[in-house]
Chains A and B, each alone.
Chain A
Amino acid sequence: MANFYTDNPALRLHLNHPMMKKIVALKERDFAEADKYDFAPRNFEDAMDNYDRVLEIVGDICGNIVAENAEDVDHNGPKVVNNRVIYAEGTQKNLEATRKAGLMGMSMPRRLGGLNFPITPYIMAADIVSRADAGFENLWGLQDCAETIYEFADDAQKEKYIPRVCAGETMSMDLTEPDAGSDLQSVMLKATQKEDGSWVLNGVKRFITNGDADIHLVLARSEEGSHDGRGLSMFIYDKRNGGVNVRRIENKMGIKGSPTCELTYKDAPAELVGSRRLGLIKYVMALMNGARLGIAAQSVGLSEIAYREALGYAKEREQFGKAIINFPAVAEILSVMKAKLDASRTLLYACARFVDMYKIYDDIAKERPLTLEEKKEAKYYSKLADAFTPLAKGMTSEFANQNAYDCIQIHGGSGFMKDYACERVYRDARITSIYEGTTQLQVVAAIRHVTTGTYLNKIREMEAEQVVPEDEGVKNTLVFMTQQYANAVQSVLGVKDSGYQDFMARRLVEMAGHIIMGYLLLEDTQRDESFRKSLHVYVNYGQAEVAKHADFIGNFRPEEITDYLYTETKEESAE
């Protein structure tokens, strides 16, 4: 009986991070609901025990049901019959199991049917689900959308929709259109208000994950004649009302169990969420931040399965009379995979804790005014969450892809065949650095925290922490890397050319990422020595990466940038 939670000690270590004490006390309002709900915790230890037990259920379902179904789901996939999506049989079973286990709406409040879990244990569940089947995470993880309803919809809408999500109805976020991908300001789907004040939607959406969901969040143009993001509003479409059909589903490279739909809206009745015109600039931004954390969790789960598959194969496969794991070239790949996995995971949970802190404060602020101290803290964590979310999404998804690549490399020729899970992992990982904003767009979101110093300030805070004498050497390396990073930032900012700064942005963000992950692993090692190996391997790797970027930036003459920019050739202009 496999259990994907209990077989992975790193998860419990991250769950039991010292910051959880504060997160749990705030989330539970000092355990005010203990007498109101028979499943509410009475104190911190009780709450942590609850998370642990529920994650054990997640680990059980993932190990014994979701992972078992993954190959079949990948091969058979969903289909469209009469404009409706029929999930693969395995997907239906997975959904049924997670529903019966009550794992939907995990972070929603108890009064609306949820478990009132902080984001951190919820994200841990997403990490575990993704190791079992990344494509299933897309469906299960869309319960995230309930968070947006909870934050921005009115009370009647919350009471109408959130209990349904908690009971197991699925969700979708209908944003993308044929001409509005990364550039959501161009969304054209038309929202028309009728005389009685109600709204209807007309138009087309494309690339919609789980597009035949029970409850949709839809971005649509409510302001006739507008052309930018300020003319867009957010709506809820309830499938029970009808009006949206699935025209087709995409034939994708990976996450094949998750239906990616093209939708047609024909006078589909919808409810406005929050205020008009704030659809993109406020609500979708919040929705996307939540979704990006979800993709980071999906990436970590994929890195985990890639590492495990590679390790298992390397131990079994014998060549030249011994298991291939005993060849240094193979062992090195595996140790770097493990280091990237551990680094990804620690960044993911650091980010999740920051998100927890500011979101809980936001929620408390609806009940009572925050104290000055609380306001200050809320602002501090809100900024860190804003800085760490694109960093985590960008770095973990790139690492997931690298680990998936290396997983196939370890398998050699067999890895190129369809016989092993690694090829599915490779295909599934590929989307993580693309959707919910490409890595390039994560850099755009992250770079302002390079220039304003959010990352550097956090690094300095971590630098001030004590470490055991054994780890002083590693810390010195991180201090040195930080100096290289700070110098590189100064050098890039010194060139007063935004084109040049954009060109160097990726390098600076990556440098910050390596240093931050190094420090987080250092902190993990202080709590659990089993991380020391990954700490060493990662810092060696990160040191070389930081030096490489520092070198590139140092040697680069700003005028060289013209070599990289596209100019039409004579042949092209003649065409």
Chain B
Amino acid sequence: MSLNIIVLAKQVPDTRNVGKDAMKADGTVNRAALPAIFNPEDLNALEQALKLKEMYPGTKVTLLTMGPARAAEVIREGLYRGADKGIVLSDRAFAGADTLATSYALSAAIKKIGEYDLILGGRQAIDGDTAQVGPQVAEKLGLPQVTYAEDILKAENGKVTVKRRIESGVETVEAPYPVVITVNGSAEECRPRNAKAVMKYKNAAVPSEVAADEAKKAFVEARPDLQIGEWNCEYVGADLSQCGLAGSPTKVKGIENVVFTAKEARKVENTDEALEGLIVELIANHTIG
């Protein structure tokens, strides 16, 4: 028994090791100053897919990412580790998408792919930290969803068994598939790149990456296994008004730089009055609420 698995991956700026030029003056992320990486929890999701591929021979793992042509790097990273193919969803019309427009575009692409049993993704991306895209994709496709997955134990006879990491411990749940599963960072780390896969797929590319280089173009065109799909809005049949900035109800009102200035600890008495006073204070200065 084999599965069709789609792994949603995002290329993100590496916000884990930020220098002082990580933010621009207007408070937005300075993407040029940060290396672009495979979103860490998406790698955890990929590992789950690759593990299932080992458990169920014949399983096919397809990576799907939305972004500019250079996001093909994420697809190659996935191919190096054992994914079978990849698609970059790329169109100017997708630019400026919030989570709603992103999940709309992704779900349109997933419908276009057509065959799928499991749709996996990381819990959240380290640039936006919303954890909304996975669940929204499930809603748009009318599929059940399992979040905070730590280990996909099995997927047999139309049912998937998943261990979830929740605040109070772990729980094991069962869901029918097709299903969307978002994977937690506490899941097993993704395996390393494989030497043979790297030597093979280093030449994999989306058409626009090789358009300018005739020799490379001819080489990739002769090798279907090295072709990464490059799908646009029209190809996946997406409604333009629901894509990109046009389809994004989220508007950024303003961005504030928060600098933590307090250096000393403050001791609060363990009484109801003292705690209430602290809460009032925190609400007043907008730390909570």
Q: Which chain A residues have a beta carbon within 8 Å of chain B's beta carbons?
A: 38-41, 49-50, 53-54, 57, 60-61, 65, 97, 100-103, 106, 115
16 A-B pairs within 8 Å (CB atoms) are namely A38-B225, A54-B195, A57-B192, A57-B194, A57-B195, A57-B198, A60-B192, A61-B192, A65-B192, A97-B192, A100-B192, A101-B191, A101-B193, A101-B194, A102-B197, A115-B199
Instruction: Give CA–CA (A103, B197) in the complex, Å.
Output: 12
Across chains A and B, which 7 residue pairs bring their CB atoms closest together, nearest first? A39-B199, A102-B195, A39-B200, A101-B192, A100-B191, A39-B196, A54-B195
In angstroms, how far is the closest chain A Cβ from the Cβ of B192? Answer: 4
B111 at the interface (CB under 8 A from A): no
Cβ–Cβ < 8 Å partners of B194 in chain A:
57, 100-102
Instruction: Give CA–CA (A65, B223) in the complex, Å.
Output: 35
In angstroms, how far is the closest chain B Cβ from the Cβ of A302? Answer: 24
Q: Which chain B residues have a beta carbon within 8 Å of chain A's beta carbons?
A: 191-200, 202, 223, 225
Number of A-B contacts (CB under 8 A): 47
Instruction: Give CA–CA (A101, B199) in the complex, Å.
Output: 12
In angstroms, how far is the closest chain B Cβ from the Cβ of A286? Answer: 26
Which of A53, A65, A103 has a CB less than 8 Å from the CB of B199?
A: A53
Q: A57 — nearest CB in chain B belongs to which residue? A: B193
Contact B191 A102 (CB under 8 A): no
In angstroms, how far is the closest chain A Cβ from the Cβ of B58? Answer: 19
Cβ–Cβ < 8 Å partners of A40 in chain B:
199
Cβ–Cβ < 8 Å partners of A97 in chain B:
191-192
Contact B202 A49 (CB under 8 A): yes
In angstroms, how far is the closest chain B Cβ from the Cβ of A320? Answer: 31
Cβ–Cβ < 8 Å partners of A54 in chain B:
195, 198-199
Contact A103 B191 (CB under 8 A): no
In angstroms, how far is the closest chain B Cβ from the Cβ of A40? Answer: 8
Instruction: Give CA–CA (A57, B194) in the complex, Å.
Output: 8
Instruction: Give CA–CA (A97, B223) in the complex, Å.
Output: 29
Contact A102 B196 (CB under 8 A): yes
In angstroms, how far is the closest chain A Cβ from the Cβ of B44? Answer: 15
Instruction: Give CA–CA (A40, B196) in the complex, Å.
Output: 9
In angstroms, how far is the closest chain B Cβ from the Cβ of A246? Answer: 30
In angstroms, how far is the closest chain B Cβ from the Cβ of A425? Answer: 25
Instruction: Give CA–CA (A100, B189) in the complex, Å.
Output: 13
Cβ–Cβ < 8 Å partners of A103 in chain B:
195
In angstroms, how far is the closest chain B Cβ from the Cβ of A449? Answer: 36
Contact A115 B198 (CB under 8 A): no
Instruction: Give CA–CA (A60, B199) in the complex, Å.
Output: 16
Instruction: Give CA–CA (A61, B198) in the complex, Å.
Output: 15
Cβ–Cβ < 8 Å partners of B191 in chain A:
97, 100-101
Cβ–Cβ < 8 Å partners of B192 in chain A:
57, 60-61, 65, 97, 100-101
Q: B196 — nearest CB in chain A belongs to which residue? A: A39
Instruction: Give CA–CA (A60, B224) in the complex, Å.
Output: 30
Cβ–Cβ < 8 Å partners of A102 in chain B:
194-197
Cβ–Cβ < 8 Å partners of B195 in chain A:
54, 57, 101-103, 106, 115
Contact A53 B200 (CB under 8 A): no
In angstroms, how far is the closest chain B Cβ from the Cβ of A43? Answer: 12
Instruction: Give CA–CA (A99, B194) in the complex, Å.
Output: 9
Cβ–Cβ < 8 Å partners of A53 in chain B:
198-199, 202
Contact A38 B198 (CB under 8 A): no
Q: B14 — nearest CB in chain A belongs to which residue? A: A1
Instruction: Give CA–CA (A65, B193) in the complex, Å.
Output: 13
Contact A115 B196 (CB under 8 A): yes
Cβ–Cβ < 8 Å partners of B196 in chain A:
39, 102, 115
In angstroms, how far is the closest chain B Cβ from the Cβ of A64? Answer: 9
Cβ–Cβ < 8 Å partners of B193 in chain A:
57, 60, 101
Q: B16 — nearest CB in chain A belongs to which residue? A: A1
Q: Do A38 and B202 contact each other (CB < 8 Å), given the known contacts A57-B193, A97-B192, A101-B192?
A: no
Cβ–Cβ < 8 Å partners of A41 in chain B:
199
Q: A39-B199, A53-B202 are in contact. List 17 more A-B contacts (CB 8 A).
A: A38-B223, A39-B197, A40-B199, A50-B202, A54-B198, A54-B199, A57-B192, A57-B194, A57-B195, A60-B193, A61-B192, A97-B191, A97-B192, A100-B192, A102-B195, A102-B196, A115-B195
Instruction: Give CA–CA (A430, B202) in the complex, Å.
Output: 41
Cβ–Cβ < 8 Å partners of A106 in chain B:
195
Instruction: Give CA–CA (A97, B194) in the complex, Å.
Output: 10
Cβ–Cβ < 8 Å partners of A115 in chain B:
195-196, 199
Instruction: Give CA–CA (A115, B223) in the complex, Å.
Output: 21
In angstroms, how far is the closest chain B Cβ from the Cβ of A128? Answer: 13
In angstroms, how far is the closest chain B Cβ from the Cβ of A417? Answer: 31
